[in-house]
Amino acid sequence: YTLIIYMEDIRISVLMGIYNCSSTLVEALDSLYTQTYKGFKVILCDDGSTDNTYEIALEYSRTHRNIVLLKNERNLGLNLTLNKCLEYADTEYCARMDGDDIMHIDRLKIQYAIMQEYPDVTVCGTWMNSIGTYSQTNGLLSTLSGLVEQPLLKFTKGNFLFHPTTMIRMDFLKKNALKYENCPYAEDFKFWVEIAKSGGRFYIDSQPLLYYRISD
């Protein structure tokens, strides 16, 4: 991996497991580095891409600060890749994003403010807009909003969080020894349920703060 030394007051680690996203990665990273909130670092882990995703990430890390770049020698899956990223998340919060999505310019600022205002909130998600060839016509992808009461009960009806919009309080994860488990296509849902079982609280901001790419 390549580590770029950082000096700012870093409060958020943005976790990105990247795999064969060479055509969208730079746009995704550019949306991070134009954020109005600057107190973050980016932890990128290439999960054995077969295109030039890793090379693009490496070149980007040479010209941008606060990047930790990791690489799996073979494809290990999203859960192990994100757990590897979590090992380097020595910040107050971690936030999720994928290598083919785009952040709203104020996303980190808004979610950081929410987490600071509500110290009992463990996970903060948002709504999002869909983009890409297979995007819905109106684009808006919405879910619950505000503080979620009885989250375990609501999880019995389905997953109400959009994974790449989330920001998570790191001390809660460490205290409860929580990480992603091997649940193909449902790593996030299992993660949220375990957080809820441990007493975690959830908040969803009803603003679309991520552009979520839907492709073939």
* Whole-structure pTM value: 0.93
pLDDT at 5 over 50: no
Rounded CA-CA distance 156/173 in Å is 22
17-63: per-residue pLDDT in tens?
999 999 999 999 999 999 999 999 999 999 999 999 999 999 999 99
Q: What's the chain's length in residues?
A: 216
Q: What is the mean pLDDT of the chain?
A: 94
Asked whether the predicted pLDDT for residue 4 surpasses 50, the reply is no
Neighbour-count burial of 190, counting CB atoms closer than 10 A to its CB (0-12 exposed, 13-18 middle, 19+ buried): middle
pLDDT of residue 8: 58
**What percent of the chain stands above pLDDT 70?**
94
Q: What is the pLDDT of residues 130-187, one digit of tens each?
A: 998 766 667 899 999 999 999 999 999 999 999 999 999 999 999 999 999 999 889 9
Of 117 and 6, which is predicted with more confidence? 117
Give residue 3's pLDDT.
Answer: 44
Phi–psi pair at 82, nearest 5 degrees = -70, -35
Cα distances (angstroms) measured from residue 150 to each of 86, 187, 207: 27, 21, 22
The string of DSSP codes covering 64-122 is: SSSEEEEEESS---HHHHHHHHHTT--SSEEEE--TT-EE-TTHHHHHHHHHHH-TT--
pLDDT tens digits along 53-96: 999 999 999 999 999 999 999 999 999 999 999 999 999 999 99
